[in-house]
Amino acid sequence: MLAVLLGAPLAAAVLVGVLVLKIVLDTRGKLEVLSAVPTFPEVGWLGHWPWWKQTDIWKKIQAKAKALGPVFRVRLGPVPMLVVSDPAEYVRACHRGDDYLDKATDAYECFNKVHFGPWCQNILSMGSDEQWKVIRRALSPCFSTSRMKPAFEVTAKITQSILDQVAAAGPSKSFDVSDLARRVTVGVISQWGFLCPTSADDLSSTCAFVEQQQKTATAVHQLWMDPFWWLTLWTDKSARLHRENCRMYDNTMAEYTKSLQARFDELPPDTIAGALLRATNPKTGQRLAFHELKSNVAIVHAAGFETTSSTFSSMMVLLLQHPHALREVEKELDAVGLLKTATCPSPRPLEWSDIGRLAYLPAVVKEALRLMPPASLGTVRITGKPTKICGYDVPAGVAVNFPHAVVDRSAAAYGADADEFVPERWMDKSLKDAGNLKEPVAFSVGPRDCVGQALARVELVTVLAMIIARFMPVLDTAINTFVDLERQCQYRLTLAYVDGVYIKFEPR
């Protein structure tokens, strides 16, 4: 009897032991091949986890890249990973070809675990398989040039509403531009992409959806930075709170998705909602199952506002820290009759055609994206076969991180002033393209680039133009230098200004 009782536990223990041994041997084998790659001291079996979990990890990676070179090695528990900041390697790995590296789907599991019920990959977390291709093809027309004009109109309308309330509050009132930007972007993605009106532009009340998204982002960040986080659910009150926030968010997105399904006939195929509702699973030939649809609705909705609002905050601070750049924006707006001045007290409103005519203001947007990319840790890929990276032999199955915060500050691509805010670099036709970077990599490159980047650019240019045309913004927070700006930022899936970026809006 005792032998029988001990049989199952003993078998389970043996199985666990075999799996652990397999992981240890696999890790050791990979590390032996990677032994020539520069690294730095580890902390026992945790490896570099304590270092990786820091809120300023993007800055830590920048420092290590300067000290160790364009590629260095870390070990996150049993997982060896290369951190690569060479622009040429980044471009080669992300574009289709013999050197293409697909997404390391294990690194994106946290975006699936935010949902309850069947865990399901989405357009962000899945590999480049047939289902990803189906969803990508379905969404791409939603962000075509023809769809950007309606997006501009919604952006301008929401921004106008918010700026009217800002003006009514008076020049002594200080506003967190991170909050203002979130309200604009969540309003746009809801109204333009899902045909769901919101009250996000009402500054007299908090935006519940924005608050819920932020709480969920914090929980997902914990899962991403520490895959062992779930083990603390029984001992850590904050872990249980994060999990409960995820549950509430999942319930909200379930109801939201059901409401979209009920409105199927009134949601055109060229809207985000309509496109996702009509997408099919290539394995079944049927429309996406509810949990698949919910997961993709949630990730597109979240990606549609948090990254853009982070960039807008950085852009405003950088512009106000560089008066010459602000003057150039004012001159450009004045030249086309958009700037309120003594001689032009009633300038014409911003129009869709202006977006294509402006040159310096979009350069400011690009430079802000380059210096302060919202997804600063970039992308994590996986080697599908033995390869070479920066001259080093790399076996199959090794994770490779390309951090945007380092790639986009490469002196090889941008010259000696790569760490400086210079919007003019995007207007110089003779700019040497040493790293094959014609644009900032904030939206990634290749087939896995951000499907919604056109919308983000329209939003950023529109909101900035409307603010500068009407107001003289003044920083009301202790962010006087670029170093201050970086210090205020914490990494929480995207760069986030946890204490806000407060600005006063003095009317022109």
Q: In this structure, is residue 437 part of a structural domain?
A: yes
Q: In this structure, is residue 88 part of a structural domain?
A: no
Q: Which residue has the higher pLDDT, 27 or 322?
A: 322
For 323, 331, 365, the CA distances from 318, given in Å and listed in that order, are 9, 18, 10
Segments forming the whole domain that contains residue 335: 131-374+415-507
Flag whether pLDDT at 128 surpasses 70. yes
Q: What is the per-residue pLDDT for 307?
A: 83
Q: In this structure, is residue 73 part of a structural domain?
A: no
91/441 Cα distance (integer angstroms): 9
Q: What is the pLDDT of residues 451-476, one digit of tens each?
A: 999 999 999 999 999 999 999 999 99
Q: What is the pLDDT of residues 43-74, one digit of tens each?
A: 988 899 999 988 899 999 999 999 999 999 99
What percent of the chain clears pLDDT 90, i.e. is strictly above it? 68
Q: Would you say the C-alpha torsion 212, 213, 218, 221 has a positive or negative sign?
A: positive
Q: What is the per-residue pLDDT for 432?
A: 47
199/179 Cα distance (integer angstroms): 14
Residue 344, marked binder: no
**CB contact set of 185 (below 8 Å; sequence gap of 6+):** 304, 305, 306, 308, 309, 459
Flag whether pLDDT at 436 surpasses 70. no
Q: In this structure, is residue 34 part of a structural domain?
A: no
Q: In this structure, is residue 229 part of a structural domain?
A: yes
How many folded domains does the chain comprise? Answer: 1
Q: In this structure, is residue 68 part of a structural domain?
A: no
Q: In this structure, is residue 189 part of a structural domain?
A: yes
Q: What CATH number is associated with residue 250?
A: 1.10.630.10
Flag whether pLDDT at 430 surpasses 60. no
